[in-house]
Amino acid sequence: MCGRYSLATPASNDLRARFALGESLEIRQRFNVAPGDDVVTVTTSKEGEPRGAILRWGLVPFWAKEPKVGYKMINARAETVAEKPAFRDALKTRRCLIVADGFYEWQPRASRSRKQPFHITRSDGAPFAFAGLWAIWHGKGDETLRTCTIITTEANDRLRDIHDRMPVMLGDQAAEEAWLDHATPAPLLQELLVPLPDALTARRAVGPAVSDARHDEPDCLDDAPSEDDDQQDPSLF
């Protein structure tokens, strides 16, 4: 799964150019993005033109009776996304990029009561995009919510000892463009929903600050205490 991530990259102008986010979209440094938060994304217009958008994390389908259902739909499984009623319509025309520079996962530790958090990034440290879906929900009166979900897939070999799932990190700009393109055929879309290659994946044990979903400060990225240094390299397992 993916239940927490970061967008701590400070150069917002670089992000705007990299992802065509536009000049008016507010981009803040985020060290601990949690479900229910507003997040930076790229959606498309009806004509298929990319555009930056702020969406709430946790997809609320148009047919939902109330918005709290979104907290149960922060992720969509790549293997079933084309079949599930909550996601299959969005997969056709409402695909999006969710901009990030890392995500967190927690590894169970037999010798401790607490799980060990890891920050997982591209090996080059560059920002990237999760493959996402988005939806518009209309409530009573003028109430409107625009929401999104992150698609997950099986973990690659570099991360499997931490968790058996990982978010789909689209590998390059060509993959991002294909994911957004309304004309991309369904079989090709499915081919994009794969784990990031091991060689492009980096992981680092971090301290306990990130485990509090309400805490969104730079210390979420602090290194783990020294006794966890052996967790930096998956080859040690």
Catalytic residue numbers, as ranges: 2, 105
Q: Which of 55, 10, 43, 14 lies closest to 28 in space, CA to CA?
A: 10
DSSP helix/strand/coil, 194: coil
The H or E element containing residue 153 is: strand 144-154
Question: Cβ(50)–Cβ(180) under 8 Å?
Answer: yes
Location of structure tokens 């004309």: 183
Q: CA 58 to CA 199: how far, in whole Å?
A: 30
Question: Cβ(180)–Cβ(96) under 8 Å?
Answer: yes
Tokens (6 digits) for 232: 């930096």
Q: CA 203 to CA 118: how far, in whole Å?
A: 6
